[in-house]
Chain A
Amino acid sequence: NAGVTQTPKFQVLKTGQSMTLQCAQDMNHEYMSWYRQDPGMGLRLIHYSVGAGITDQGEVPNGYNVSRSTTEDFPLRLLSAAPSQTSVYFCASRLTGEYGSPLHFGNGTRLTVT
């Protein structure tokens, strides 16, 4: 019963490098999303998707790209990392069409950009 799986758990990048944070879920959830968590800021929504082929921006989308080619996967791409992107990143998914359906979270990726 894997739920939401994020890889890697930890990553260190140099400024300007690119990388992809992976997220996969095995619950057949249509809705998937990416949040970043920073001290004193709570959780901020980066991008989300309500189904394969559909993505939209959240509160803080700049510097991040996403795509959704399958129901299961929702990768987050940093094209040119900046120190301001040092954060803990969480992927989360939920059923749509069901009122009160909760989000299921992965265990996070801790990213440091030097």
Chain B
Amino acid sequence: GDSVTQMEGPVTLSEEAFLTINCTYTATGYPSLFWYVQYPGEGLQLLLKATKADDKGSNKGFEATYRKETTSFHLEKGSVQVSDSAVYFCALNTGANSKLTFGKGITLSVRP
């Protein structure tokens, strides 16, 4: 079945540090890939997505590139801010009508 593996957390960084959060996947078919963010006390929000190989999703300074050859969708940001402190989830789905499969999420804390 489909699965998503995220790097273990939590992650603590200083403001303006570079961020990488790893995500790899296993899927039957050709998945769409997503990153969601959850701020404290809120639901998940879509951060970015990519629907085909070599696509780059980007939003709010975050980027992730769909790498079919390595089955990866790593999230990066060049300079994190305190306001980026949240839980980040990688997810996929493999068809227009299929369920989303989520990774376990990783907590990012950014200190001033």
Contacts and interface: CB of A to CB of B under 8 A. Distances in A.
Interface of A: 4, 31, 33, 40-43, 45, 48, 50, 58, 90, 92, 94, 96-108
Interface string B82-112: 0000000101000111011011110000000
A48 to B, nearest CB: 6
Contacts of A96: 96-97
A105 B105 contact: no
Contact of B99 (A4, A58, A99): A58
Nearest to A56: B99
A102 B34 contact: yes
B49 interface: yes
Interface in B1-60: 32, 34, 36, 41-46, 49, 51
A79 B105 CA distance: 30
A41 B43 contact: no
B104 A40 contact: yes
A100 B105 contact: no
Given A42-B105, A43-B89, A100 B46 contact: no
B97 A105 contact: no
Interface residues of B, number: 22
B104 A41 contact: yes
Counting chain A CB atoms within 10 Å of each CB, the highest count among B89, B95, B99 belongs to: B99
A98 B96 contact: yes
Given A40-B104, A42-B104, A102-B49, A108 B96 contact: no
Contacts of B34: 102
Nearest to A91: B43
17 contacts: A4-B43, A33-B99, A41-B104, A42-B102, A48-B99, A58-B99, A90-B43, A96-B96, A97-B96, A100-B49, A101-B96, A102-B34, A103-B44, A105-B44, A105-B45, A107-B42, A107-B43
